[in-house]
Amino acid sequence: MVDPLAEVVTLLQPGARFSKLIHGASPWRIRRSEAGQPFYCVVLEGGCVVTLAGHEPLELHAGDFALIPAVQDIAIASLVPPPRGHDTLAPTPLGNGEFRLGPATLVQLVREETRQQRPAREIVLSRLMEVLLIEALRSTAGTQAPPGLVRGLADIRLAAAIRGMHEQPTQAWTVAALAKVAALSRSTFFERFNREVGVAPMAYLLAWRMALAKDLLRRGAGRMAEIAARVGYSSASTFSVAFARHVGVPPTAYARRHAAAA
């Protein structure tokens, strides 16, 4: 049986290629502005305070892992921060992927793999990051977490429909067909899906198809017509229009960009 959460995490390809090992000497504070990019932070020793615009500060300690799906403005500081307005300069590189500013089992493993140049290090780190990401997503179940995939999968009726979309993305799904899979009336299903997942059923299906398409394009897995068919479109032109509208660039340009970056 298809596991939608596992599929999404696999497509996200979490890894340590964008990570840094940072040593901080109190007091310190750094700020970053991101264009809606995901951000994660693993505290190996000591602690820090993470502040997002419009939210209360979040205190993290050794062994904690924080995942922020989309960051606009973030500040990270030592537990005893410097005076307001006195931000620390950019981290100083120490070499070997480590930087300087002024254990849970998984986090300890990440720490050991990060610091040791052992065989297959990058593969191990990628798998550990996948597990950390899954655990972070799982931990939101049963909480007052915002709407999303985890909340949708926690609802047994909605989970059936979500799995159906993941198992058969090429099927000509309609709200009525998905409601039937969920054993709910059309109106009840539509309202419940919107409330728990945060988007309409057809919007979720489109996003999943586009995620699959982007993965296929990055890997160069077939001609445009073949990729279109694999994500539920009858022609390359129809797929191209939908992809450009959703992603912001045509699929050919997207594929070229990622081929050049490889």
**The dihedral sign for the CA sequence 191, 195, 200, 201:** negative
**pLDDT score recorded for residue 8:** 77
Among 198, 210, 211, 206, smallest CA distance to 150 is for 198
**pLDDT score recorded for residue 35:** 65
133-177 pLDDT, tens digit each: 666 666 555 555 677 888 888 888 999 999 999 999 999 999 999
Among 34, 39, 63, smallest CA distance to 50 is for 39
Angle, CA 130 vertex, CA 126 and CA 131 arms, to 5°? 120
How far apart CA 163 and CA 138 sit, in angstroms, is: 17
pLDDT, average across residues 226-253: 93
pLDDT at 17 over 60: no
pLDDT, average across residues 51-79: 83
Highest mean pLDDT: which range of 69-73, 136-140, 184-188: 184-188
CATH topology of domain 204-261: Arc Repressor Mutant, subunit A (1.10.10)
Which of 23-37, 44-58, 103-117, 153-167 has the lowest average pLDDT?
Answer: 103-117
Residue ranges of alpha helices (H) inside 105-250 are: 105-115, 121-138, 149-154, 156-167, 175-181, 186-197, 201-219, 224-230, 236-247
pLDDT at 242 over 80: yes
Report whether CATH 1.10.3470 matches the domain 149-199.
no
**pLDDT score recorded for residue 178:** 96
Which of 37-41, 134-138, 212-216 has the lowest average pLDDT?
Answer: 134-138
Provide, rounded to the nearest whole percent, the portion of the chain with pLDDT above 90: 34
Mean of per-residue pLDDT scores for the chain: 81
Split at pLDDT 50, 70, 90, the class of 103 is: very low
**pLDDT score recorded for residue 214:** 92
**pLDDT score recorded for residue 260:** 65
Among 33, 4, 31, 47, smallest CA distance to 165 is for 4
Which residue ranges make up each domain of the chain?
4-138, 149-199, 204-261
Which residue did the predictor score with more confidence, 13 or 229?
229
Which of 27-41, 133-147, 215-229 has the lowest average pLDDT?
Answer: 133-147
**pLDDT score recorded for residue 26:** 67
4-138 and 149-199 have identical folds: no
Contact indicator for 152, 28 with CB cutoff of 8 Å: no
CATH for 4-138 (2.60.40, 2.40.160, 3.30.450, 2.60.120): 2.60.120
How far apart CA 196 and CA 174 sit, in angstroms, is: 19
